A and B are shown apart, each in its own frame.
Chain A
Amino acid sequence: NAGVTQTPKFQVLKTGQSMTLQCAQDMNHNSMYWYRQDPGMGLRLIYYSASEGTTDKGEVPNGYNVSRLNKREFSLRLESAAPSQTSVYFCASSARDTTPYEQYFGPGTRLTVT
């Protein structure tokens, strides 16, 4: 089992460019999440998807869009990147109905916007 995979691992963008971060899980989890991690601020939820076909905003959704392509895949899109979006992005998944339903995380994408 690969668990949660993310691509790319690193990315540098210029202000105004767009990109999509890809995430896939092979654990048959219903719920998937996108977080950003900035120094001193912990993990902040951008968007999540409780099940295939649904998405909901988290704490910091502005400037991002998501697509739950199928049960396995959940992508995050930056339409017009800004320096404030420089961060490390984590995708995660979890089961929904079986405790302890801990989250499994991908390895992260380090994004720099210049």
Chain B
Amino acid sequence: AQKITQTQPGMFVQEKEAVTLDCTYDTSDPSYGLFWYKQPSSGEMIFLIYQGSYDQQNATEGRYSLNFQKARKSANLVISASQLGDSAMYFCAMRPSLSNQFYFGTGTSLTVIP
């Protein structure tokens, strides 16, 4: 079975600090992709970052980085230097390479405090 778990319903971070949002996954597929999306209060879903299961290095995109620990089946999102505009829901997702389906976690609500 494929499953994504996000155990932090809500997180707070001080502006300019770094924050880690947790994501663990379960799959028996040997190859898969991991994704993070941001959903601000306006409702749209914004793609942030991707990690392939065979990528040797952790993915980075600007202030976003993905702390990928394959043996622990975790794919945590790290946001550095938090900004007020980072306040949003964040979703972790996985797509097994042999499937066309994406599996989403229940999300983490991040609030950045000025």
Q: Which of these binds chain A: B14-22, B42-50, B71-79?
A: B42-50
Chain A: interface size category: 20 to 34
**Contact status A108-B47, CB under 8 Å:** no
**Contact status A99-B47, CB under 8 Å:** no
Q: In the assembled complex, which residues on chain A have CB atoms less than 8 Å from the CB atom of B44?
A: 105, 107-108
**Contact status A105-B45, CB under 8 Å:** yes
Closest B residue to A110 by CB, please name it.
B43
**Contact status B35-A102, CB under 8 Å:** yes
* B interface size (C-beta, 8 A): 21
Give the contacting residue for B47; candidates A50, A58, A102; CB below 8 A: A102
**Contact status B45-A33, CB under 8 Å:** no
Closest A residue to B51 by CB, please name it.
A100
In the assembly, what is the distance between CA of A111 and CA of B24, in Å?
A: 31
Q: Cβ of A74 < 8 Å from any Cβ of B?
A: no
User: Nearest chain A CB to B33's CB is how many angstroms away?
Assistant: 6
Q: Cβ of B91 < 8 Å from any Cβ of A?
A: yes
Given contacts A41-B106, A42-B105, A58-B101, contact A99 B50 (CB under 8 A): yes
User: Nearest chain A CB to B38's CB is how many angstroms away?
Assistant: 11
**Contact status A50-B43, CB under 8 Å:** no
Q: Cβ of B25 < 8 Å from any Cβ of A?
A: no
Q: In the assembled complex, which residues on chain A have CB atoms less than 8 Å from the CB atom of B104?
A: 35, 42-44
Q: In the assembled complex, which residues on chain B have CB atoms less than 8 Å from the CB atom of A56?
A: 100
Q: In the assembled complex, which residues on chain B have CB atoms less than 8 Å from the CB atom of A45?
A: 101-102
Q: In the assembled complex, which residues on chain B have CB atoms less than 8 Å from the CB atom of A103?
A: 35, 45, 47, 93, 102
Give the contacting residue for B91; candidates A31, A42, A92; CB below 8 A: A42
Given contacts A40-B106, A41-B106, A107-B43, contact A100 B52 (CB under 8 A): yes
